[in-house]
């Protein structure tokens, strides 16, 4: 029997590449994205919905009940620069990046606990430790994202369910909007790291490692008011 996975926000970027990789490895995958998918495979089932809209939860509940997943990965994420004359996009960033993930976990995790088996992975960012003047909603959404998954991982630890928070630095996708992108990794390399997480199931996984001390240094400099 094929292992079943549920991917949220996988019509492009890391999600698309991960879908193709796992299909080659024999998985059956159900995807939900706000856009059409380019994948044509008998073991892939695509559904269209926006994680911030009402029909998403109904669709997700139906898929989870009919095809309980052994693995769920939340890829969905957006980033926008702050516009002080029109801050409407700030709400959307929080809703997609953080609230949408919590909506997903609220439906997927209880079914995994019921089955006493499953792995929930969320893609966060090392920006979760930093304050941003240019994109405060993005960094704040990732801070909430990482904090929530850390607590959730502890809550389900004895229920046979694993939760992994993957914290990437810069990945070569449309999300990488910063002017400077040190130590950026390719999409395929990001999927390599995800495959490692699927196998080893760490609670927290940060990559590239060289970015960890850099982020902490920036955090320290910011706290001292020097940046």
Helix (H, G, I), strand (E, B) or coil at 129: helix
Look up residue 142 and give its two tokens.
Answer: 């990732």
Question: Which two three-digit tokens encode residue 132?
Answer: 């941003």
For tokens 């993957």, the residue is 166
Out of 69-78, 80-89, 152-161, 213-222, least confident range: 213-222
pLDDT in tens, 78-122: 999 999 999 999 999 999 999 999 999 999 999 999 999 999 999
**3-state SS of the chain: helix, strand, coil percent to 5?**
45, 20, 35
Report pLDDT for 209.
79
Supply the mean pLDDT for the chain: 91
What pLDDT is recorded for position 162?
98
Classify strands 44-48 and 71-74 as parallel, antiparallel or unpaired: unpaired
Q: In 4-123, which ranges are continuous DSSP H helix?
A: 13-24, 55-66, 88-94, 100-115
Is there a contact between 182 and 198 (Cβ–Cβ < 8 Å)?
no
Domains of the chain plus CATH, in order, are: 4-223 (3.40.50.720)
Predicted TM-score (pTM) of the model is 0.91
Rounded mean pLDDT of 198-217?
84
Provide the pLDDT for residue 69: 98
Q: What's the CA gap between 137 and 135, in Å, rounded? A: 6
Helix/strand/coil for 130: coil
pLDDT of residue 2: 84
Angle CA 23–153–4, to nearest 5: 20
Instruction: Report which secondary-structure segment, H or E, holds 144.
Output: helix 136-155
């Amino acid at each position: 029997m094929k292992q079943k996975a549920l991917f949220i926000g996988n019509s492009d970027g890391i999600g698309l590449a991960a879908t193709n990789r796992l299909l080659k490895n024999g998985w059956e995958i159900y995807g939900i994205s706000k856009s059409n998918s380019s994948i044509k495979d008998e073991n892939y089932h695509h559904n269209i919905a926006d994680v911030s809209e009402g029909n998403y939860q109904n669709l997700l509940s139906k898929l989870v009940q009919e095809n309980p997943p052994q693995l769920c990965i939340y890829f969905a994420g957006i980033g926008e620069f702050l516009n002080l004359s029109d801050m409407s996009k700030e709400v959307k960033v929080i809703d997609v990046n953080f609230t949408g993930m919590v909506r997903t976990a609220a439906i997927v995790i209880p079914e995994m606990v019921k089955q006493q088996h499953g792995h929930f992975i969320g893609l966060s960012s090392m920006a979760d430790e930093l304050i941003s003047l240019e994109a405060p909603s993005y960094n704040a959404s990732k801070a909430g994202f990482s904090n929530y998954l850390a607590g959730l991982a502890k809550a389900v630890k004895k229920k046979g369910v694993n939760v992994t928070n993957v914290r990437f630095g810069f990945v070569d996708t449309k999300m990488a909007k910063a002017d400077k992108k040190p130590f950026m990794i390719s999409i395929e390399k990001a999927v390599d790291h995800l495959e490692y997480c699927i196998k080893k199931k760490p609670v927290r996984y940060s990559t590239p490692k060289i970015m960890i001390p850099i982020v902490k240094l920036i955090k320290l400099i910011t706290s001292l008011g020097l940046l």
